[in-house]
Chains A and B, each alone.
Chain A
Amino acid sequence: MAVAAPTINEAAPAGRKRIKITRTLVFSILFVAFGVWLILGAINTLTPETSTLLTFGAGTPDLPVPTQIITLISGIYYAAAGVICLIMAQQRLRTILLLIGGVLLIPVIIIIAAADASTNVTTLLSVSLRLSTPIVLGAMAGIWCERSGVSNIAIEGMMLTGACNGFVVFTILSPNLATGEAQLVGVIISILSGGLMSLLLAWLSITYKTNQIVAGTVINIMAVGITSFIRREVLFSSEAGRGTLAPWPIPVLSDMPVVGEIFFSGRPIFYMMFVLVIVTHVMLYFTRWGLRTRAVGENPRAADTLGVNVIRNRWINVFIGGMIAGLAGAWFSLETTGSFDDNMTSGRGFIALAAMIFGKWTPFGAFAGGILFGFSDAMGQRFQFLGVPIPPQFLQMVPYVITIIVLAGLVGRAQAPKADGVPYDKEGK
């Protein structure tokens, strides 16, 4: 997946005059459009009496906000910032303006969406973060694989297999074991079956050097078949099970007013997300293994010359990535729903891939991307609830559209590892 490989672009005909599409240009135009839309909306549909009541859960005061004024002000800000960015050449100023606009986006959307109603901000943020768990975990899985040069389209399939197998084992064990123990075994099985699927990918793409995308697509197709097969064979006939992983409120911290509910009263896999983001970051940038992994992903031949075993490095990284994807799968069945349905991951593996690309293949970037997509997921549900005239389907498109834009290099160059998706052939040229 050599996304950034400059093969064709270099040969662009020099004579033709074209406006250079830059990140700032695109953003500026988007900002102006968004600002104008906000101003018009504020004048046409909102009245000065309209107000939004923001609540933060028990024990905190509610915050009433005048919707029209806020909408007008933010609309003016966006329009002005867009125009300034178009006119002024100062890169620093532009960046600051755009950044503020980006940060403002989420509160503005919440306030407008909840016009004439109240919305619980704490719940919304906490739901966003929980929904982003599988996306972030999947993105971490992708980083482990792709940083070592194996592009992994099969995160979706690995998640699905993990979700299915973990839950099946949990269901089988639960009559004989305590729920907690059965769940623990289930999660471990999820992790291992994700790893097992990744070994298939490794075997096909590293050892057999098949096209990694074909291998990944095939694994996805197979995962759908295998899991629905297993579900029909095992889960239909068994009645035991159900129930999800128990929440683990962290003793003192979870009692804090807003932050407690958002961060410290989750379930185990939710916490694992934070742990794994940090672990991945440390592994990648502060360990010998991480240095080697990046070397293998960027320039396997050089790494090989210096004595790094490229093939082994890739196998291990892909396996670890697969295990993380399996854990993400356990989030669906064991942590959240307490059941397994055919194709229950419903494209989250691909969104994870999108989050990874959005974060330019870095753990914290991918984390931010995952949270953004989790938020748009949560807003999708919320928008339907509040009756906002934006069809929910368009909100669900957002992550994919953003990914394409990022891939196209309009919003900063997406920098894939150079050897991503290229099989390493020791004897090759």
Chain B
Amino acid sequence: MSISPATWARTALNRLLDASPLVIALLLAFMVASTLLLALNVSPLEGFASMFEGAFGNENSTAETFVKATPMLFVAIGICIAFRGGMTNVGGEGQMIMGAVAGTAVALAAGEPLGWLGIPLAIIAGFIAGALYGGLAGWLKAWFNVNEILSTIMLNAIAVQFMNFMLNGPMLDPTEAGVNQIPKTARILETIQLPRLSLPLPPGVADLFSLQNAELFARTRLHWGLVIAVLLAVVAYFLLWRTTVGYRIRAVGENERASRYAGISVRGHMVLSMMLAGGFAGLAGIIQVLGLQYRLQTDGSATGFTGNAGFNGIVVALFGGLNPLGAIPASAFFGGLLVGAQKMQRDLGVPAALITSINGLIVIFAVSSEYFRVWLTRRRRLAEAEAQQKAASASTAGVPS
């Protein structure tokens, strides 16, 4: 049977439609954003240009974008694992906080004698604390059938109060007590801070792009956390798709019952995927402290410390197709969106809060376009079945009964 050009074109179009939900979601979100900008008497082109300029316009803004992207990437890696394992983890905020509290405590306790060894110790402590906190939700789900979304929301609130308690009591820096009402810990030692990241450039390149320094990203806030995050994203990808454990996690997420019949410990892998998710979120928290803030501080709310990375990480993960490797560009994109929004606010007086709502819009469109895709496939299948039926009835009509 030869394929007619019409069929081929339809197939190609279908493929395109299948692959495009995210692009469509983006376009729709930008259309809505444009409308809003127009309503504010700002030219959308000017607005988006300003955003892009603010996100990737120069060395420093690019670095800021990556700084914003780093915690989101960590959380997103964990979210990929949890969602693949069938666990809707919305507890990134709380797990980040727990990781940060534990890690900071270790970093402060390690102090002088251990030198740089404090860094890995703090990071491991952050991972473990986050993992335990995430695993708690997993355990409640696996053994007590507690909906993990509800429990992680509740655990988020508990973690915030726990952080407030620690910062106002046991971990409060005595010299800072009472200073401008912001509870914070002591500053961690310089030996335990993650070094800043800069890339040496071949001679001449710096002049070519009229950079101020011979090293790219020198004198910016970019730190090694980004490299750790990217490396771990690759590790997580291999874990999910190239190891038995990853296969089992995905199997449990895909079909719980079938996995049980295949002899996979469903409960164990539920807890495991939540522990990994929590662990990565915990890393996001402790890296934020070690690489950027050098102390734990908050204004009493979760976002005061996390900057909403725990929730934005979900958006990043969904946008990266629930694939850790996809989350890398997605995190840079959303980091750029957030940093660019601030620039737009400075330049054009457009509130950065607008971008927060646009973030939400993107998710809504992404999720709805997924439905649209399913609907398309179903309609296509129906049409095919109908065509087959027609063909079948045509062939039987030719045969005399």
- A: residues with CB less than 8 A from B are 1-9, 11, 153, 204, 208-211, 213-215, 217-219, 221-222, 224-226, 228-229, 232-233, 343, 346-347, 350, 353-354, 357, 391, 393-394, 396-397, 400-401, 403-404, 407-410
Contact = CB atoms under 8 A, between A and B. Distances in A.
Contacts of A346: 301
Contacts of A229: 351, 353-354, 356-357
20 contacts: A3-B145, A9-B145, A204-B367, A209-B371, A211-B367, A217-B90, A218-B367, A224-B353, A225-B360, A226-B353, A228-B351, A346-B301, A350-B154, A357-B150, A393-B168, A394-B165, A396-B161, A397-B161, A404-B146, A404-B155
Nearest to B267: A8
Contacts of A228: 351, 353, 356
Given A6-B145, A217-B311, A393-B162, A222 B360 contact: yes
Contact of A407 (B150, B354, B357, B359): B150
A225 B354 CA distance: 6
Contacts of A213: 88, 90, 149
Nearest to B354: A229
Contacts of B260: 11
Interface string B161-177: 11011001100000000
Interface string B386-397: 000000000000
Contacts of B142: 8
Contacts of A218: 360, 363-364, 367
Nearest to B154: A400
B164 A343 contact: no
Nearest to A231: B353
Across the A-B interface, the 4 shortest Cβ-Cβ residue pairs: A225-B356, A222-B360, A225-B357, A393-B165
B351 A408 contact: no
Given A3-B145, A8-B266, A408-B146, A221 B359 contact: yes
Contacts of A209: 371
Contact of A350 (B157, B162, B371): B157
A289 B164 CA distance: 46
Task: Pick from A209, A215, A393, A410 the residue with the most CB of B within 10 Å.
Answer: A393
Interface residues of B, number: 48
B364 to A, nearest CB: 5
Contact of A225 (B88, B150, B267, B353): B353
B132 to A, nearest CB: 15
Given A217-B314, A403-B150, A391 B165 contact: yes
Given A213-B90, A357-B150, A397 B311 contact: no
A222 B363 CA distance: 10
Nearest to B153: A350
B158 interface: yes
Given A204-B368, A225-B360, A391-B169, A397 B157 contact: yes
B209 interface: no
B27 interface: no
Nearest to B136: A404
A204 B143 CA distance: 31
Contact of A353 (B88, B150, B266, B371): B150
A1 B147 contact: yes
Nearest to B350: A229
A4 B144 CA distance: 9
B64 interface: no
A8 B164 contact: no
B158 A400 contact: yes
Interface in B14-48: 40
A404 B367 CA distance: 29
Contacts of B363: 214, 218, 221
A404 B353 contact: no
A408 B142 CA distance: 11
Nearest to B256: A7
B348 interface: no
B193 to A, nearest CB: 28
Interface in B319-375: 351, 353-361, 363-364, 367-368, 370-371
B140 interface: yes
Task: Pick from A225, A228, A343, A401 the residue with the most CB of B within 10 Å.
Answer: A225
Nearest to A156: B153
Contact of A208 (B169, B318, B360, B368): B368
Nearest to A216: B149
A1 B360 CA distance: 22
Contacts of A354: 154
Nearest to A209: B371
Contacts of A396: 161
A393 B354 contact: no
A343 B301 contact: yes
Task: Pick from A1, A204, A210, A346 the residue with the most CB of B within 10 Å.
Answer: A210
B151 interface: yes
B150 A219 contact: no
A26 to B, nearest CB: 12
Given A210-B371, A407-B146, 15 more contacts: A3-B146, A9-B145, A204-B364, A204-B367, A214-B318, A217-B90, A221-B363, A225-B354, A225-B360, A226-B357, A228-B353, A350-B153, A350-B154, A393-B161, A404-B154
